[in-house]
Structure 1
Amino acid sequence: MDNLFVKCSVCLNFVAKVVTLHNDESFVTKLRSVVPEVEWLDYYHICGGCKSDLDTAYEFRSRCIRLNLEQKREQYFECYHCNSRYGDKGVLVEHMKCHSVESLESPPKQFKCDDCNKSYTTQKILKVHLKKCKVRDPPTRKNRFSCEVCDLVLNYAKDVVEHCVEEHSMERKLVKPYTCTECPMRFSSSANLIQHRKYHEGSRNHICSFCGKGYITKSDLTVHEYIHFNRRNYKCEFCDKAFNTNKNLRSHMLVVHTDPTLWKYECDVCTRRFPLKSGFEQHMKRHTGDKKFGCHICDKTFVSRSELQKHVGSHSMVNPFKCTHCEKAYKEKRFFEIHLAKHHGIGNAKIPIRVKKFACHVCPNTFFDKHKLHRHLRVHSGDKPFGCQDCGKKFSDKYYLKQHAKNMHNSGQNEEIVSK
């Protein structure tokens, strides 16, 4: 490439002539105004074509701002007594002094809402009210509002709010008169209820432009796209971790830096506490036996999709996470990272401290895992469910059956569970 040609920092083309930003501060100002997402420095070079596009974009932006200012200047303030119009609010205030004191203290409310009978001083204020009033469901038999304390049914949401404040001494902002017809959830405003109903409809019309995933609401999509930007602007004040969203930071604070005795959700069956509602609901499904996710290879079912995906990997003989320092290989990344930290001192994975908390009620033996305790209990009960299909000999553990088949029958597959 000829040394006379210089690379443009925007279009990346090599051109004979470029403009350096520090030579003209107006270019820096324009770039930072048009594209504020980029931290423009003084050493960038811009070719003539990009400079022309920049001038066009900056002029269009400036034109839109001027138009917005002109529209604001065209706004006027109207006197509700004589309908006189003024371009400045201060001038209107001075004009109002010419009217009687009585009329200033109690301006006439001649514009009335047909739905809730409220009255307003101007047509403009009434229009603002009507937009909010239309959102509210009409007082039909189907859409009446109920008190969450005593189940009293009233025609309007505002009546429920007044009732809860006066009769139950509730804070006004904590009253939730709007109830979802699909589930028991309640809301303090109709806007929140409308947003909630979208989740029951399940229509994922908001598509991520990075990965193609669909989301029900625009706010959910916005939160998801922060993951792709990976800016991690939300930093934890107690440790060095940072997160893409404020929601993830709040979850981290609850899970890691909050005393477990203060966690909000408590199981009524085993008194175990949970910091997040999602973990609590998944835990309760274990007590109820609600396992909707079934394996397509075997008959096992699971509470969550993540548990199912983890189980499906157990059917595979592939261990993708291989240690380059020894011959160990793992199916899951978590166990692989623990191995690196424990045996090779690599990484900062937290090494779990194993405790033998499963004790045998017959002898003093204790075990790390529950299934090992159950396997041990067969020694005391004499139960031998694993039988050899060649000689009929029975064993209390599947491992002993494999060893027997290998040594006595020269087979590693000779195993069968004998049902009683």
Structure 2
Amino acid sequence: IEQTRPATQLYSSQKPISCSECGKSFKRSTSLKLHQRIHTGEKPYSCSACGASFSQLGSLKNHEPIHTGEKPYSCSECGKCFKRSTSLKLHQRTHTGEKPYSCSACGASFSQLGSLKNHERIHTGEKPYSCSECGKCVITSTSLKVHQRTHTGEKPYSCSECGKCYKTSTSLKVHQRTHTGEKPYSCSECGKCFKTSKSLKTPRETRVEPYH
């Protein structure tokens, strides 16, 4: 009497199924069906709030918290919550120090692929973002947005203490030290502390020595 082979053995003996469009192979017909939506453009899952369509149910589930404000993914280290599991995964690298993306030119490592791509432009000299007002080209879209504020005069970051406004969050952070008294940059030679790294780099002979 022929013995029935385990389901796993039957499964492993199955031939892979190929996509007729691009030739990519899959073990499961369901995986092939999902893949084929790339070619057909089929998006059977729709958001009831805004009508956006998705090819996979998981993509819809990731999208829906945008409308509900729900943040179901929380960091076990600091408790910060996120709308998407992918956002949580990226955040967790701030705790683990994981930087899986490395620059082939200088070896610098980054936690996000986008950060690596931006960095690589330092080596290539590529500046794909140009200002429509003056033509200045910059490396990142964020840099372009900040630059454009020199034309628009926009200063979206305001101090909660005195109301003074700034073009960048970094400038606001530096300003707030005038209220908090924080001086995070210290000189290894004389021990004097400064509010900015620029002040720290000032030649020592121009500084006033601290009292001992």
Distance 1:137 1:228, change over 3 A: closer
Counterpart CA distance in 2 for 1:251 and 1:237 is 13
Aligned with 2:174: secondary structure?
Answer: helix
2:75 and 2:7 mapped to 1: Cα distance?
Answer: 34
Give the C-alpha shift of residue 221 in structure 1.
1.2
**Residues 1:314 and 2:178 aligned together:** yes
Work out whether residues 226 and 245 of structure 1, in 8 Å CA contact, stay in contact via their aligned partners in 2.
Answer: no
User: Percent sequence identity over matched residues?
Assistant: 22
Unaligned runs of at least 5 residues, structure 2? 16-28, 206-212
CA separation in 1, counterparts of 2:64 and 2:155?
A: 26
Give the alignment partner of residue 86 of structure 2, picking from 202, 213, 219. 219
**2:8 alignment partner in structure 1:** 72
Deviations 1:145-188 (A, max 9, x none): xxxxxxxxxxxxxxxxxxxxxxxxxxxxxxxxxxx6xxxxxx9x
Q: How does 1:20-169 map to 2 (within 5 A)?
A: 70-73=6-9, 89=14, 134-136=44-46
In 1, Cα distance between equivalents of 2:181 and 2:94:
32
Q: Where do residues 235-274 of structure 1 align in structure 2 (5 Å cutoff)?
A: 235-254=102-121, 256-259=122-125, 262-274=126-138
TM-score of the two chains, using structure 1 as the length reference: 0.35
Q: Which runs of 4+ in 1 moved over 4 A?
A: 87-90, 189-202
Alpha-carbon spacing, 1:89–1:284, altered in 2? closer, same or farther (3 Å): same
The residue identity in structure 1 corresponding to 2:201 is I
Instruction: Give yes or no for contact 2:158–2:164 (8 Å, CA) kept in 1.
Output: yes
Computed over aligned residues only, the root mean square deviation of the Cα atoms, in angstroms, reads 3.9
Q: CA deviation at 1:301?
A: 1.4
Query: 1:290 is matched with which residue?
Result: 154
Residue in structure 2 matched with residue 331 of structure 1 by the alignment: 195
Give deviations 1:5-49, integer Å, cap 9, x for gaps. Answer: xxxxxxxxxxxxxxxxxxxxxxxxxxxxxxxxxxxxxxxxxxxxx
CA deviation after TM superposition for structure 1 residue 327, in Å: 5.5
Distance 1:323 1:297 in 2: 29
Relative contact order (C-alpha < 8 Å, sep 6+): which is higher?
2
User: Do structure 1's residue 302 and structure 2's residue 169 form an aligned pair?
Assistant: no
- Counterparts of 1:229 and 1:318, CA distance in 2: 27
SS of residue in 2 equivalent to 1:263: coil
Aligned CA distance change for structure 1 residues 267 and 229 (closer, same or farther; 3 Å): same
CA deviation map 1:73-114 (0-9, x unaligned) = 466xxxxxxxxxxx9657xxxxxxxxxxxxxxxxxxxxxxxx
On the 8 A contact 1:329/1:336 being kept in 2, the answer is no
Structure exhibiting the larger radius of gyration computed from Cα positions: 1
1:406 alignment counterpart: none
Q: Secondary structure at the match of 1:315?
A: helix
Whether the aligned pair in 1 keeps the contact of 2:194 and 2:200 (CA below 8 Å) is no
Aligned to 2:209: none
- For residues 273-305 of structure 1, what are the alpha-carbon distances to aligned partners after superposition, in whole Å with 9 as ceiling and x for unaligned? 122222222332443233333222223212343
Looking at structure 1, the residues matched to 85 and 66 of structure 2 have their Cα atoms a distance apart, in angstroms, of 12
User: Is the contact between residue 101 and residue 112 of structure 2 (CA under 8 Å) also seen in structure 1?
Assistant: yes
Number of residues of Structure 1 aligned to a counterpart in Structure 2: 177
- The one-letter amino acid paired with 1:134 is P
CA contact (8 A) 1:204 1:214 kept: yes
User: What is the aligned partner in structure 1 of residue 21 from structure 2?
Assistant: none
What's 2:101 paired with? 234
CA gap of 1:235–1:220, structure 2 versus 1, over 3 A, is same
Distance between the aligned counterparts of 1:280 and 1:193, measured in 2? 30
Aligned-pair distance for 1:237?
1.6
Q: State how far apart, in whole Å, the 1-side matches of 2:175 and 2:130 are.
A: 28
Q: After superposition, where does 1:171-250 map in structure 2 within 5 Å?
A: 194=60, 195=62, 198-199=65-66, 202-250=69-117
- The aligned residue for residue 23 of structure 2 is none
